[in-house]
Structure 1
Amino acid sequence: MSGFDCWGQTRHRLHHYYGQPLFESFGHIHPDDKSLLTEAYQQIVSSFRPCEPSPGAVVCGFKFGSLIHIGTVELIDGKLEILHTSRRKGPSIDSIDDFKRLFKEVKFYEYVG
């Protein structure tokens, strides 16, 4: 899973592991451009609905209304965990509580088409 940014990894997991459509790549957006990331999120969020954490759900971390980071909820060893990645650390798995501590607001979504 190395080499992906957070959206690329999420997009890959949703498509290849959860059978969702292959969502737009947004590869033209630099991961540090939170304004454009937030605009991209707003373009696709209508295909999702808020949900509780469950395997295959998308998790979005926000600070002051801007999308900062995104990942997927995974069932690992019987526990719900967050799979996400960054350019500095590469792929990471964190508990939901640890992920929530990183952001002012965290939202979970499921794909509805």
Structure 2
Amino acid sequence: MHKIDDYLSVPYVDGGRDMAGLDCWGQPRLVLHNVFGKPLFKSFGHVSPDDKTNLTNSYAQIVDQFKPCLAKEQAIACGFRGQSLIHMGLCVVVDGQLQILHTSRKKGPSIVKIADFKRLFFEVKFYEYTG
């Protein structure tokens, strides 16, 4: 069984879907599965993170497997600019505080306060994976 800290040393890799490298879609997908025991949702590893249209289309294909919710542990945090999905992270509890685990090309994996994550996007929506 993995722990959240295990994902802080996994490098950012475009299309990454395993512990050798993860992107912002692969990281929450794998953490939900390996840490919280949820089924894996569809990978879409072939979609480039730079292709916001296809990233948004991929999100639209599986959003019915998710229920909108408030920020809470295990909720996926989706960052939007306009109608386009730009980035994803996962709500986790660290040292008793709800925060967001995410990964990016520039900084790699990190855990940030929800307010800091929200400042990066026009809108942030939270979803519970119902798989």
Q: TM-score range by the shorter chain?
A: over 0.9
Measure, in 2, the Cα distance between the counterparts of 1:55 and 1:28.
28
Instruction: Give the root-mean-square deviation of aligned CA atoms.
Output: 0.8
Q: 2:127 aligns with which of 99, 109, 112?
A: 109
- 1:57 paired with 2:99, answer no
- 1:25 paired with 2:43, answer yes
**Larger RCO of the pair (alpha carbons < 8 Å, separation 6+):** 1
**1:13-33 CA distances to partner (integer Å, 9 max, x unpaired)?**
111111111111111101111
Report the counterpart of residue 30 of structure 2 in structure 1.
12
Measure, in 2, the Cα distance between the counterparts of 1:55 and 1:95.
13
- 1:76 paired with 2:106, answer no
Give runs of ≥4 in structure 1 deviating > 3 Å: none
Report the counterpart of residue 42 of structure 1 in structure 2.
60
**C-alpha displacement at 1:88, in angstroms?**
2.0
Unaligned runs of 5+ in 2: 1-9, 12-20
**C-alpha displacement at 1:10, in angstroms?**
1.0
**1:60-102 CA distances to partner (integer Å, 9 max, x unpaired)?**
0000110000010000001000000012211011100000000
Identity of paired residues, percent? 60
TM (normalized to structure 1)?
A: 0.96
Aligned residue for 1:73, secondary structure, equals: strand
In structure 2, give the amino acid aligned to 1:109. Answer: Y
Report the counterpart of residue 86 of structure 1 in structure 2.
104
Unaligned runs of 5+ in 1: none
